[in-house]
Amino acid sequence: MDKRIKLIRKCEWEEVFLSWYKNEGESPNWAKLAKERGFASWADWRLRGYAKRFECAKADWGFYEISNAPEIVSSWFGGPFRTWIERHYDKEKTKNFADLASRQDILQLPVIKKMRRNYPKKSVITALELSDGRIFVIEGMHRTCALASMAKEKKSFKNKLIFAIGKSKLSELPAVDQNTSKK
């Protein structure tokens, strides 16, 4: 892992999932989407649709501080999510954030425009480091795109950010397809 990424402390997956919940779990929009996809709740959707598939409970988790986050996350990869593959990855399984930060369809998203002006500094982005050292964001895609776009434009960003990073034994992340509770 990059030496500029400093371990604050080790933690368990359950604490990381609670952080994820604080980022989006109480949002009525996310809860509605989970129900539309046939899940009982936001937590059910994220646990069965993502965490289980990515073997999050088996990863070695920690909270890390990053001083120059825009520069560092630019070399990370977006999670293999169907919507991102269809809309932003040119049908590839993933793209790195430097590439995503060059795309007008990404830069024009209202949520990314808003975060570039006022980044949510207290939020935690969740990522997995695979066995080959590549780091994939599994929660916080829009925030990471906003950070990478700041790096691309050499925009000053002096804040230290916290990331939850799990060291995984996986060599690849499986693509998240329709992500419904129906088999």
Residue 172 lies in a domain: no
d(CA 73, CA 56): 20
**Any domain includes 56:** yes
The CA-based dihedral angle spanning residues 105, 17, 50, 95, taken in that order and rounded to the nearest 10 degrees:
40
* Contact indicator for 168, 128 with CB cutoff of 8 Å: yes
pLDDT of residue 56: 96
pLDDT band of 162, cuts 50, 70, 90: very high
Q: How many domains does the chain have?
A: 1
Residue 97: left if φ>0, alpha if ψ -120 to 50, beta else—which one?
alpha
On whether residue 138 sits in a domain, the answer given is: yes
Would 174 be classed as within a structural domain?
Answer: no
Residue at 38 is within a domain: yes
Judge whether residue 1 has pLDDT over 90.
no
Residue 179 has a pLDDT of 59
Tell me what pLDDT residue 158 has.
Answer: 86
Tell me the per-residue pLDDT of 90-149, one tens digit each, with 9 for 90 and over: 989 999 999 999 999 999 999 999 999 999 988 999 999 999 999 999 999 999 999 999
How far CA 147 is from CA of 46, 75, 101, 167, in Å, comes to 24, 11, 9, 22
Residue range of the domain that includes 62:
5-167
Asked if residue 28 is part of any domain, the answer here is yes
CA–CA distance, 88 with 19 (Å, rounded to integer) = 26
- Would you say residue 183 has pLDDT above 80? no
Dist CA 12 CA 30 (whole Å): 24
- 110 lies in a domain? yes
**Is 126 inside any structural domain?**
yes
pTM above 0.85, yes or no: yes
